[in-house]
Structure 1
Amino acid sequence: MLFCHGEKKSFSFLVRALKTFEKVSGLVANSEKTAVYCGSMDSTKKEETLGSYDFIMGDFPFKYLGIPLNAKYMLSSDFDSVVDKMLARITCWSSRNLSYAARATLINFVLMSLHLYWAQCILLPKGVMHRITQLCRSFLWDGAVVLGGAPPISWDWVCKPKKYGGIGVRDCSRWNKAALGKYVWKIAKKEDTLWVKWLHSIYLKDQDWWSYSPKKSDGWFWRELCAVKDELRQGFEIGNWISKNYKISDCYDWLQGPQEKTIANWLGIAERNFRLNVSWKHWKRQGMDMIHKRVYLAAFSACGYYIWFARNHAFWEKAFSFGGFCPITCHCSPCVLLVLVLLLGFLFSTGGLLSLSTLQGTAAGCLLHYSVMLFVYLMGCSLFLGSAGVDC
């Protein structure tokens, strides 16, 4: 790509440089494959500048190395090719019976990778980011292009790392800003590249990069990059990223904010060491919705189960076999029947079937599922042991 001012004299110098290159190297610029793009020029000035040359007049936006370029602000419609690729992939996958884990893997490693190259070059419009997030959310929960109802978990929770209760899906908007932070780092380091030198000579002009404010007449990309710089400034100061190689992952983690293990906080358990016979009364008085109450009761029952299990293990290990998925396996058929009755009664009376189907594949759903199983075994085995005259 060659650039010049939008005037006849500057353009003639550019053509003269091409002819000089032709005489030296023997390579001729094909006028039929060479296009001229004019920004902020009226039709009269265009004809005056290009009238005597046989170059093709191109229109904005045009693609260069796969990225659309425009003299003005990029519209959401200019990025339809990325959205169309995602739609094609989801349409192909929607006919397959995929689990939540498989969908999350496809989102992270296939769908999100389709826009990574674009996100490292320009700041994508909010409308495009919203559309990408919408497609990923719909595919994760329904396996289709359109989401049939409200998602069971907010997208912010889905984008949290797995160790903090999320699914680990990448937040495309934050990742886009973290990727552009690479250019902020290059400008701050005054890297020895032609682009950075041009920016310092045209825009910055020996001004401090962190206190610089762009003019309203500056290009839209430069103004967007300065906005990203202002947003990431605190992260550069805290993380001291200037003194080391810039990593997108470090900036992305900082943009996500401090993470905490949230299952205990979500249940309202803030104490590390607590007395079970006192804390449960405090939890019971807390205002909780129905999902909170069910998960809390299941978790509380699981705690009771492990206390009971530790107390009676030494006395009852001969009556139970340990192994497989379940912690204990009762060999008495009346007890098994009682467990099944309790399980069905719990699910139908409390709406457990709805909760399990709604939260399936999530951290809360897994906790609810396994805790309910432990609760049922605890109740069934306790009743059986009580009827046998054993103190439990």
Structure 2
Amino acid sequence: MESLRKYEKASGQLVNNDKSYYYIHHKVSARVNSKIKRHTDMRNGSFTFTYLGCPVFYGRRKLIYYKDLIKKVMKSILSWQNRLLSFGGRYVLVNHVLQTMPVYLLSATNPPSGVIKQLHKIFTKFFWSNTVGVKSKHWVAWDKLCLPKDEGGIGLRSLTDISNALFAKLWWNFRYGRSLWSSYMLNKYFEPQIFWYLRNGTSRFWYENWTRLGALYYITPDAAREKEIEHIKDNIKVPDGEEDDEPCWMLETSGKFSVKSAWEFLRHRESQQTSYRFMWEKGLPIKISFFMWRVWKGRISTDDILKRMMINIPSRCWCCIPTDGIGLHQMIMAWWTAETKSKLQPIYRAMPAVIIWSLWKRRKYIKHGGSVTFYRLKQQHLSRYKPKFYYAKVLWRMPPSERLKCNTDGSSRGTPGISSYGFYIRDSSGDLVQLETDSLVLQNILQDSWITPWELRNQIEEIKQDMRTVQVQSNHIFREGNKLPDFLANQTLDHAEIKVHEFKLMPSEGRIILNMDK
């Protein structure tokens, strides 16, 4: 109470005892309880209660403590169930509304698995039947839906994986504090995903990953130790800064922790397939892409599939004619992998889904009445794939007579793969060097507009140091105006190192590009 009185005196605010409660364990004696009540002049509150949206309790976690969250989700679903929603509409509501409701609670508490299972059950019923109280066929299990699209899912996320990623964020915050709790979390979970960027050597020498190969404490064989020493000599810069060493999250290019990268690291995963990526072509309505996904997995109500589900139907399909030859998957893949111009590829990848969707609608209309026309199909789905052309005038410009200009470019065969770089310097008549590159990423990093990737910090700092030593101006140029370095970089990949000091020694194609720049 003395602390409350000091707060009232310092802030000028008074504590309203009629609206205040104190909470104690149920095993506390009545004598102690009455003494606290007499001194505080407040009422005794009972567990469980909600504070800032989170249940506060002691003892085992129970499902009933999280009933408010489940009621909130159900209330939203009940407001939607009378609307005629397609699978695309339900997908958007589940992905952007229902799955975001528990995020705040999951970031602060760890609910029992039964809560997450019940939420998944509610999401599943709404997605497949547009309501919760009606039974319907769940064509695909929820855990299969909660996979990235290129792994066979539809891009939803499991609340279990989200919860683990949010707890990883708590661990990252603890990691900065160097508390006892942070040390416990450090040794149990994510330490291999942290790299310490050396500044003045404040990181723990044996127990923290400042070599990018793991903590030195765990390296015991002599051969491995020699390998580690060579790696440190070649790649680690001696700390000479004034600031403390900085932890870098190795799963993000920027080195900053993100829940998205933690989720990607912790989530359940399946093998990626190119076919899954093609069926979610940009520009297609979600309902068509989702239907294509169901067709590919054999999860639609055709007669052959219903027979496998032991559902009695007529012995012969009333609208299908048996055919021999190429299968449906082979036919679709032929469309998707057809060799054509890059601007026509989106059309080739969208056409199978649009055609199959139209055939399915025609089948439904023949069976239940109605009609579908090619004009409607064209207007609704194909008109958005009209190629758009952009143009801009790009020229290489000579520097002033008192300057040098160095144009650079890089080339790589695969990621990762063999790489090379090319550059040339023109009009050498002064001390001022002008660097021009077609990498907008490098340009923004050198100008400190973008965060330096943690893997390139040493190299970028060396470049910046050189730029401070000599007066340098860095500019960006489009690739169309930077053809000669691109040509030299690709020539290096094919013919190893190339050095040209005279115009006549330049390959003929390079001389043509050089003259065209003039």
Match of 1:88 in 2: 75
Question: Deviation of residue 50 (structure 1)?
Answer: 3.1
Match of 1:22 in 2: 8
- Confirm or deny: 8 A CA contact 2:144 2:153 kept in the other structure: yes
Letter in 2 for 1:27: Q
Letter in 1 for 2:250: N
Instruction: Give the Cα separation in 2 of the matches to 1:54 and 1:241.
Output: 53
Letter in 2 for 1:33: K
TM-score (norm 1): 0.54
Match of 1:174 in 2: 161
Matched, 1:43 2:4: no
Match of 2:257 in 1: 246
Residue from 123, 126, 129 that aligns with 2:116: 129
- Confirm or deny: 8 A CA contact 1:141 1:147 kept in the other structure: no
Q: Aligned-pair RMSD on alpha carbons?
A: 4.0
- Confirm or deny: 8 A CA contact 1:34 1:55 kept in the other structure: yes
Match of 2:127 in 1: 140
> Structure 1: any 5+ residue segments left out of the alignment?
1-14, 192-196, 212-228, 266-289, 311-321, 330-339, 348-352, 354-392
- Confirm or deny: 8 A CA contact 2:63 2:114 kept in the other structure: yes
Instruction: Give the Cα separation in 2 of the matches to 1:39 and 1:61.
Output: 11
Question: Deviation of residue 145 (structure 1)?
Answer: 0.8
Question: Deviation of residue 152 (structure 1)?
Answer: 0.9
Partner-residue secondary structure (3-state), 1:63: strand
Residue from 91, 95, 111 that aligns with 2:98: 111
Within a 5 Å distance, the mapping from 1:352-363 to structure 2 comes to none
Question: Deviation of residue 86 (structure 1)?
Answer: 1.1
Match of 1:34 in 2: 20
Match of 1:255 in 2: 266
Letter in 2 for 1:244: G
Match of 1:319 in 2: none
- Confirm or deny: 8 A CA contact 2:21 2:42 kept in the other structure: yes
Letter in 2 for 1:103: R
Q: Deviations over 1:236-262 (max 9, x none)?
A: 689636993211101111122454334
Structure 1 258/27 Cα, relative in aligned 2: closer, same or farther at 3 Å? closer
Partner-residue secondary structure (3-state), 1:210: helix
Instruction: State the number of aligned residues.
Output: 251
Structure 1 148/24 Cα, relative in aligned 2: closer, same or farther at 3 Å? closer
Question: Deviation of residue 115 (structure 1)?
Answer: 1.0
Within a 5 Å distance, the mapping from 1:1-392 to structure 2 comes to 15-39=1-25, 41-44=27-30, 45-146=32-133, 148-190=135-177, 200=180, 209-211=185-187, 230=189, 232=190, 240=250, 244-262=255-273, 297-302=327-332
Instruction: Give the Cα separation in 2 of the matches to 1:251 and 1:107.
Output: 22
Structure 1 155/17 Cα, relative in aligned 2: closer, same or farther at 3 Å? same
- Confirm or deny: 8 A CA contact 1:139 1:147 kept in the other structure: no
Structure 1 183/302 Cα, relative in aligned 2: closer, same or farther at 3 Å? closer
- Confirm or deny: 8 A CA contact 1:235 1:251 kept in the other structure: no
Structure 1 301/161 Cα, relative in aligned 2: closer, same or farther at 3 Å? closer
Structure 1 304/236 Cα, relative in aligned 2: closer, same or farther at 3 Å? closer
Partner-residue secondary structure (3-state), 1:29: coil
Instruction: Give the Cα separation in 1 of the matches to 2:153 and 2:59.
Output: 39
Question: Deviation of residue 165 (structure 1)?
Answer: 2.7
Instruction: Give the Cα separation in 2 of the matches to 1:62 and 1:299.
Output: 56
Question: Deviation of residue 306 (structure 1)?
Answer: 9.8
Letter in 1 for 2:28: D
- Larger RCO (alpha carbons 8 Å, 6+ apart): 1
Identity of aligned residues (%): 21
- Confirm or deny: 8 A CA contact 1:124 1:176 kept in the other structure: no
Structure with higher helix content? 1
Instruction: Give the Cα separation in 2 of the matches to 1:149 and 1:260.
Output: 29
Letter in 1 for 2:33: K
Question: Deviation of residue 172 (structure 1)?
Answer: 0.9
Q: Deviations over 1:70-114 (max 9, x none)?
A: 133332111111111111111121111111111010001111111
Structure 1 181/302 Cα, relative in aligned 2: closer, same or farther at 3 Å? closer
Partner-residue secondary structure (3-state), 1:57: strand
Partner-residue secondary structure (3-state), 2:108: coil
- Confirm or deny: 8 A CA contact 1:94 1:144 kept in the other structure: yes
Structure 1 186/298 Cα, relative in aligned 2: closer, same or farther at 3 Å? same
Question: Deviation of residue 166 (structure 1)?
Answer: 1.5
Instruction: Give the Cα separation in 2 of the matches to 1:64 and 1:264.
Output: 48
Question: Deviation of residue 18 (structure 1)?
Answer: 1.8
- Confirm or deny: 8 A CA contact 2:21 2:43 kept in the other structure: yes
Structure 1 150/257 Cα, relative in aligned 2: closer, same or farther at 3 Å? same
Partner-residue secondary structure (3-state), 1:120: helix
Instruction: Give the Cα separation in 2 of the matches to 1:58 and 1:111.
Output: 32
Instruction: Give the Cα separation in 1 of the matches to 2:55 and 2:108.
Output: 10
Instruction: Give the Cα separation in 1 of the matches to 2:258 and 2:330.
Output: 42
Q: Deviations over 1:209-231 (max 9, x none)?
A: 534xxxxxxxxxxxxxxxxx54x
Instruction: Give the Cα separation in 2 of the matches to 1:27 and 1:110.
Output: 39
Instruction: Give the Cα separation in 1 of the matches to 2:74 and 2:184.
Output: 44
Letter in 2 for 1:140: F
Instruction: Give the Cα separation in 2 of the matches to 1:159 and 1:90.
Output: 20
Partner-residue secondary structure (3-state), 2:47: coil
- Confirm or deny: 8 A CA contact 1:35 1:58 kept in the other structure: yes
Question: Deviation of residue 126 (structure 1)?
Answer: 0.8
Letter in 1 for 2:160: S
Match of 1:336 in 2: none
